[in-house]
Structure 1
Amino acid sequence: MTRQTETAPRTPLSRDRVLRAAVALADGIGIEALSMRRLAQELGVVPMALYKHVANKEQLLDGMVEAVVGEIDPPAPGSHWQGAVRQRILSARAALLGHPWAAQVIRSRTGPTPAVLAYVDSVIGMFRGGGFSVDLTHHVMHALGSRVLGFTQELFDAAPDSGPEGQPAVPPAAAAAYPHVTELAMAAAHDGDSVVGGGCDDQFEFEFALDLLLDGFERLRQQGWTSSARRSRTGSGLIA
């Protein structure tokens, strides 16, 4: 009797499967190398099969952003606004650090995706639920900027290259011309507690600035701060 060969059923293609595969592929090869053709090869389908689930590369990128934002922990119920906002933002940072290409793609979008809007809406809701006026919340969100999504553009992207014995390679002329910048660069390069080696601890610096902002927001809330009162004290020549 001829024995029939049993084959495992192929997992049907779906939008969720396409997006999860795209995220994993970008994690592995980088966002610049990601293409519809390469993704189709990864999934074992012809490229045209992808277009039933994502219309084009831009829609694919939008969906990938949605998938990453979906990894952010939900708000902790019953928490004080400051702890809840801090936890939410640090969870967003962890999600983006897990996908190094994600911040770049978020910045490249012409507008926020629905998942990003929902996330930002929830953060705004935490401030409003914590007793912040609409006016103060408006300026709080400006102050947070991209930090609300867990990333920032730092003043210095990296410490100076190290020379012999770990000394920062700062040319003497530059050290003389910019003594204070050099002083800070030297301090960062000798920070033995840095988790990233010869430079600043990015996570520490992020949390340091975030805590300063959140403490300042709470102080303004307690003072009943308003932008109109601020403008009346400083005059009308404010730069937006």
Structure 2
Amino acid sequence: MVKTLRLNRDRVLRAAIELADEIGLEQLSMRRLAQELDVVPMALYKHVANKDELIDGMLDMIVTEIDPPGPGAEWKPAVRQRILSARRAMLRHRWASRAIEMRQAPTPAILAYLNSVIGILRAGGLSANLTHHVMHALGSRVLGFTQELYTPGDAREAPDMTPFPHVLEIAMAAAHENDSIVGGGCDDQFEFEFALDVLLDGFERLKDQNWTSTPIRYG
């Protein structure tokens, strides 16, 4: 006799992640998930109230895949390591970045992750003021993904670039590997790390200069 696995929230979320990895977030539904788990749809609602809560739980579980900072690391390599680990999680679950963009508020696990990154910056000597602007500058990059200005569509729909020689020149100036792209466009691993390192180097210079956006008041 085959023993049926007991249904619980953890099993529901893990099955939902695997299904979203396979068919995409748009095709994921409570009914489809119930079929995957071989239960009636109502059984899922004992563990998640609706699809929004399901997605929040899925994102929280994915955030736990982000590696913790190494002990004793300086702030810049520590932040870099966390962000690149977040990116690997986004690459494993290609739908997750879109799900994050769709949420109106961060989940508890995402807040805990952001709190950890902020803690690394503050412990590294960055002021609260500078850290505020650093988090704005990093934007979604802190969670391992960025959004391109335009995503490429069907090649047959590509516009004639002849009237735009500068755009064409930079588009052809570097090659990009398709298997390292999140979503679409040129946001491959090299471009991601290039921009991240430029930002981190800039933050370090501002820290060393005791930069602040708060005007200094005299008298």
Establish whether TM, by shorter chain, passes 0.5: yes
**Corresponding position of 2:177:** 195
- C-alpha change, 1:60 and 1:200, in structure 2 (3 Å) is closer
**What does residue range 152-167 of structure 1 map to in structure 2 within 5 Å?**
152-158=146-152, 161=155
What's the TM-score once normalised by structure 1's chain length?
0.82
**Corresponding position of 2:112:** 118
- C-alpha change, 1:207 and 1:160, in structure 2 (3 Å) is farther
The answer to whether the Cα contact below 8 Å between 2:148 and 2:186 also exists between their aligned partners in 1 is no
- Tell me how large the CA RMSD over aligned residues is: 2.0
Max Rg structure: 1
Alignment of 1:74 with 2:74, yes or no, is no
Alignment of 1:181 with 2:181, yes or no, is no
The answer to whether the Cα contact below 8 Å between 1:72 and 1:91 also exists between their aligned partners in 2 is yes
Higher alpha-carbon deviation: 16-25 or 146-155: 146-155
What's the TM-score once normalised by structure 2's chain length?
0.90
**Corresponding position of 2:99:** 105
The Cα offsets for residues 109-131 of structure 1, whole Å up to 9 and x where unpaired, read as 11000000000000000000000
- Quote the offset at 1:161 in angstroms: 3.9
Give the counterpart of 1:48 among 26, 32, 42.
42
Unmatched segments (≥5 aa) in structure 2:
180-184
Q: Where does structure 1 differ by over 6 angstroms across 4 or more consecutive aligned residues? A: none
**Corresponding position of 1:13:** 7
- What amino acid sits opposite 1:81 in the alignment? W
- Quote the offset at 1:160 in angstroms: 9.1
**Corresponding position of 2:182:** none
The answer to whether the Cα contact below 8 Å between 2:122 and 2:131 also exists between their aligned partners in 1 is yes
CA distance in 2, matches of 1:211, 1:158: 26
- C-alpha change, 1:119 and 1:201, in structure 2 (3 Å) is closer
**Corresponding position of 1:4:** none
- C-alpha change, 1:14 and 1:81, in structure 2 (3 Å) is same
Instruction: With a CA cutoff of 8 Å and minimum separation of 6, indicate the structure with the bigger relative contact order.
Output: 2
Alignment of 1:33 with 2:19, yes or no, is no
The Cα offsets for residues 193-225 of structure 1, whole Å up to 9 and x where unpaired, read as x3328x847100000000000000000000000
User: Tell me, what secondary structure is at the counterpart of 2:173?
Assistant: helix
- What amino acid sits opposite 1:111 in the alignment? A
